Amino acid sequence: MNSFSNSCHVLFALSIMLLSTMILGCGGTRDETVAGVVVPVPRPMERLSGQGIELSLPGFGGGQASFQGSMAPEKIIEFYKKEMPARGWQPGTSLLSRGAMLTYSKEGKSVLLAVGVQDGKATLSVTVSNTNK
């Protein structure tokens, strides 16, 4: 192989590593649907079964889902401060203390994110309302 070919292989490998890092970030993201509203969730956070509710009335829908995982609460907060605006959600009120409460809105939908710690694990509560139903 010549040096040009070796350089191409090195650049290709570096590009793959950089792309993998960008995609995976803090463990990646996945979409969860809560009462018809698609919300991003950090991959390390697992949905707790039996911990959600959903309400559907003419002109209004809402619901709540709970998640738990081994992610630092600060990283969850950082995740949402980047991910929600990148998806077109407008930030609203936020309260930061030992955990956080963050609100976002978009197209008649509202999302309240509550982040905390329970039994040594990070907790995430996602509450949504949808006035477009």
Domains located in the chain, CATH noted: 28-130 (3.40.1000.10)
- In tens, the pLDDT along 49-69 reads 765 666 665 666 799 999 999
- In tens, the pLDDT along 12-59 reads 543 444 333 333 444 689 999 998 899 999 999 999 976 566 666 566
Joined together, the tokens standing for residue 113 give: 């994110």
Joined together, the tokens standing for residue 60 give: 């209004």
The model carries a pTM of 0.74
Joined together, the tokens standing for residue 92 give: 């609203």
Lookup result for tokens 């600060």: 74
DSSP, collapsed to helix, strand or coil, labels residue 21 as helix
Are 51 and 18 a contacting pair, CB within 8 Å? no
Backbone angles phi, psi at 24, to 5 degrees: -80, -35
